[in-house]
Amino acid sequence: MFKKFREKLKSWFKKTEEKTDEITEVEKEQIEKYEKIEKNIIKKSEPSLKPKEETKKGFFKKLKEKLKFRITENYFEEIFSELEMLLLENNVALEVVEKIKSDLKKELIGIEINKNEVEKTIKQALRISIESLFPEKIDLIEKIKEKKETYVILFFGINGSGKTTTIAKIANLLNKNNLSCILAASDTFRAASIEQLEKHGEKLKIKTVKAEYNSDPSSVAFDAIRHAKSKKINVVLIDTAGRMYTKKDLMMEMEKICRVSNPDFKIFVAESITGNDAIEQAKNFNETIGIDASVLSKADVDERGGTAISIGHVTGKPILFLGTGQNYEDLEKFDEKKLIESLGLD
């Protein structure tokens, strides 16, 4: 996961320190001074010894520990312009890049640090900035258990984003937590979508409430909720269609399902790999019907990771899970610490 991003960051960090390696005139003087002192010490203790290459290296290492480096605006702009490109290329949303820039600017410009601590200092500032991007976590299972009656969860997102698969994974998770559930096949539009959901239901031994293709998705959701309430089933998971014939029509349909099903929780499912498209969709859905959290599917095939960094900040809603494969168990609780670790920022 996120391998390409991690490698790019690693080589960028190396550059931040290399850029401080050009030695200034003042530093040259200091080096000479150190060399003289060291030579004298050697002469006194063992006159036959000449300073060797290793001792020289030793001088330089010591010197670097002593030399101060001030992060100037010029230095910052130079290194940040490269970081900016790197972040954008790895799917970090523009507004998030801007936030990171302003955090780093505040934290770094003007500070004086030891020359050998440049990489460490910048890495720490970047880590703190990224850590601040994630909204407070939500524990879905706890929320469901808190409500003593049937809990309704609506899933939405565009076609192919992984809604149906994510629903099956969550149904499996609910079962493992001793919570009963049923599935509502409210994607009545896409060919084979009802059968796809039903198949998961059969495998997981969960009932699927369905109607004919092209029937009203809201009434399927309504029927499923009524059934769940009468049978005291804990959770209803509503699948929806994400067709994009026009954005307006899709949003109107989602608004109607929301009105009719009055869900306790709305989950936006997006593909981790789509980057800015996923961010734009999340914004649209959030503005129109309001989302409570996101699930990022296909994180297992995402080399970049910028969507996971950005979507929480842009929507103000946390990521619940990452989809990490096609099996029911491939659903990881999202943990920003793990994300930071996988980017090599820990």
Ligand X SMILES: Nc1nc2c(ncn2[C@@H]2O[C@H](COP(=O)(O)OP(=O)(O)O)[C@@H](O)[C@H]2O)c(=O)[nH]1
Residues that bind ligand X in the complex, under the rule CB under 6 A: 157, 159-165, 242, 297-298, 300-301, 323-326, 330
For position 261 contacting Mg ion by CB under 5 A, the verdict is no
Interaction partner, residue 208 (Mg ion, ligand X, none; CB < 5-8 Å by kind)? none
Q: Closest CB to ligand X among 294 and 324?
A: 324
Which amino acid type is present at position 21?
A: D
Quickly count: other Cβ atoms within 10 Å of residue 303's Cβ.
Answer: 16
CA 114, distance to chain mean position in Å, is 32
Q: Closest CB to Mg ion among 185 and 233?
A: 185
Closest CB 91 distance from Mg ion, rounded Å:
23
Closest CB 136 distance from ligand X, rounded Å:
24
Q: Closest CB to ligand X among 100 and 339?
A: 339
Q: Closest CB to Mg ion among 122 and 183?
A: 183
Closest CB 35 distance from ligand X, rounded Å:
59
Q: Closest CB to ligand X among 295 and 345?
A: 295
CA distances from 140 to 135, 265, 266 (A): 15, 9, 11
Residues 6+ apart with CB under 8 A from 306: 5, 87, 90, 91, 92, 93, 96, 275
For position 164 contacting Mg ion by CB under 5 A, the verdict is yes
Is 237 in contact with 183 (CB distance < 8 Å)? yes
**Whole-angstrom Cα distance, residue 103 to residue 83?**
13
Closest CB 332 distance from ligand X, rounded Å:
9
Residue least distant from ligand X (Cβ):
323
- Of the candidates 286, 180, 172, 185, which has an alpha carbon nearest to the alpha carbon of residue 229? 180
177: DSSP letter: T
Q: Which of residues 27-46 bind Mg ion (CB under 5 A)?
A: none
Residues 6+ apart with CB under 8 A from 55: 38, 42
Q: Closest CB to ligand X among 101 and 298?
A: 298
* Binding mask of the shown chain, residues 71 to 110, with x at each position contacting Mg ion by CB under 5 A: ----------------------------------------
Alpha helix segments (H runs only) across the chain? 3-18, 25-45, 53-66, 73-89, 94-108, 118-131, 140-146, 163-176, 193-204, 217-231, 247-261, 276-288, 306-315, 336-342
Residue least distant from Mg ion (Cβ):
164
Interaction partner, residue 161 (Mg ion, ligand X, none; CB < 5-8 Å by kind)? ligand X
- Of the candidates 210, 141, 147, 193, which has an alpha carbon nearest to the alpha carbon of residue 170? 141
Closest CB 269 distance from ligand X, rounded Å:
6
User: In the Cβ-directed half-sphere of 129, how many Cα atoms lie within 13 Å?
Assistant: 20
Closest CB 296 distance from Mg ion, rounded Å:
16
For position 166 contacting Mg ion by CB under 5 A, the verdict is no
Q: Closest CB to Mg ion among 164 and 315?
A: 164
Closest CB 193 distance from ligand X, rounded Å:
7
189: DSSP letter: S
Q: Closest CB to ligand X among 159 and 180?
A: 159
**Which residue stretch of 155-163, 227-235, 315-323, 335-343 sits at the interface with Mg ion (rule: CB under 5 A)?**
155-163
For Mg ion, the binding residues (CB under 5 A) are 163-164, 193
